[in-house]
């Protein structure tokens, strides 16, 4: 009987939590649209939100945790400017985490993720050729290339810098949605890439070719040769994926 009562209580409480999540999410969305709430603003405390929506503080905590997983808010305990629940809106982190789990579950094949990444990056570099970016914006990808030239750099550190390099170049197209999705796609297979590289056992020969390819891609972007940049990044991604099979 106690187990049955717990199950019945769990079922009866579930809609309340779901409604709490929806109500808080709608509140944040409406407030952002109206300008009443901006990125960096702090949400009211648990008690105030519970009273505002007519729900329990436990339901508010569940809703905040769900929103934090979605990358909409960041919560921190204690006092000071970073404490409380702050609106941050970090979609690439949320999407990347979700995609990593689906890749791990084999629901999303790595091959399909790589193909989607090729589409995103070739589009980005092709459009970057005519986008209004300033030459100074290439300072970050150049810095990343220099960091990747370190012969003592572990493979996992190299692939992390590699991800930043691709994101920095793709951002030159000026499309925030594409940049966010591309970042998420790249991050979703980093674990797979790191494991495959270690298993391959020939990292030193791979990394030298990656450096050469990176320099070629950057050179095409600097020359605003979108067609060549798109072709090189496609060959680069597909070559690297083939090495990890």
Helix (H, G, I), strand (E, B) or coil at 245: coil
pLDDT band at 101 (very low <50, low <70, confident <90, very high): confident
CB 162 within 8 A of CB 148: yes
Residue 58 has pLDDT above 80, yes or no: yes
**Residue 3 pLDDT exceeds 70:** no
| Model confidence at 214: pLDDT above 50 | yes
Mean pLDDT over each residue of the chain, to the nearest integer = 82
The residues with which 75 forms a beta bridge, in sequence order, are 85
Rounded to whole angstroms, what are the CA distances from 69 to 81, 102, 237? 21, 15, 29
- C-alpha angle with apex 63: 54 to 22, nearest 5 degrees? 70
pLDDT at residue number 14? 42
Residue 6: the pLDDT is 42
CA 186, CA 181: separation in Å to the nearest integer?
Answer: 9
Strand blocks (E) in 3-83: 73-76
- Count H helices and E strands in the chain, helices first: 11, 2
| Domains in the chain, CATH or no CATH each | 2-89 (1.10.10.10), 92-243 (1.20.120.530)
Give the pLDDT score at 189. Answer: 74
Q: Each residue of 138-181: pLDDT tens digit?
A: 999 999 999 999 999 988 899 889 988 998 999 999 998 888 88
Structure-block tokens of residue 138: 């290439």
The whole-number pLDDT of residue 166 equals 92
Per-residue tokens: 102: 């689906």
- The predicted pLDDT at position 1 comes to 46
Residue 37 CB partners (closer than 8 Å, separation 6+): 28, 31, 87
Residue 82 pLDDT exceeds 80:
no
pLDDT score for 80: 61
Among 34-43, 111-120, 222-231, the range with the most confident prediction by mean pLDDT is: 222-231
- Please state the length of the chain: 245
Torsion 172-174-180-181 (CA) sign: negative
Give Cα 67 to chain centroid, integer Å: 16
Summarised one tens digit per residue, pLDDT across range 66-77 is: 788 777 788 877
pTM: 0.71
Mean pLDDT of 188-208: 77
């Amino acid at each position: 009987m106690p187990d049955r009562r717990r199950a019945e209580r769990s079922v009866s409480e579930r809609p309340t939590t779901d409604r709490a999540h929806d109500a808080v999410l709608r509140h944040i969305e409406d407030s952002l649209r109206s300008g009443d709430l901006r990125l960096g603003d702090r949400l009211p405390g648990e008690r105030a939100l519970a009273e505002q929506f007519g729900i329990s503080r436990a339901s508010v905590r569940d809703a905040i945790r769900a929103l934090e997983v979605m990358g909409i808010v960041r919560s921190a305990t204690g006092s000071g400017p970073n404490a409380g629940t702050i609106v941050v809106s970090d979609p690439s982190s949320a999407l990347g985490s979700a995609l990593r789990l689906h890749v791990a579950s084999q629901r999303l094949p790595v091959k399909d993720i790589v193909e989607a990444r090729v589409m995103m990056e070739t589009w980005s570099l092709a459009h970057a050729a005519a986008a209004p970016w300033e030459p100074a914006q290439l300072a970050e990808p150049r810095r990343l290339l220099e960091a990747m030239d370190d012969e003592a750099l572990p493979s996992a550190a190299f692939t992390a810098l590699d991800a930043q390099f691709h994101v920095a170049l793709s951002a030159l197209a000026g499309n925030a949605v594409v940049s966010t999705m591309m970042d998420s796609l790249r991050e979703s297979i980093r674990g797979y890439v790191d494991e495959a590289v270690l298993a391959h056992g020939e990292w030193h020969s791979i990394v030298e070719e990656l450096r050469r390819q990176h320099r070629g891609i950057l050179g095409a972007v600097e020359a605003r040769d979108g067609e060549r940049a798109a072709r090189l990044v496609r060959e680069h991604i597909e070559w690297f994926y083939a090495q990890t099979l």
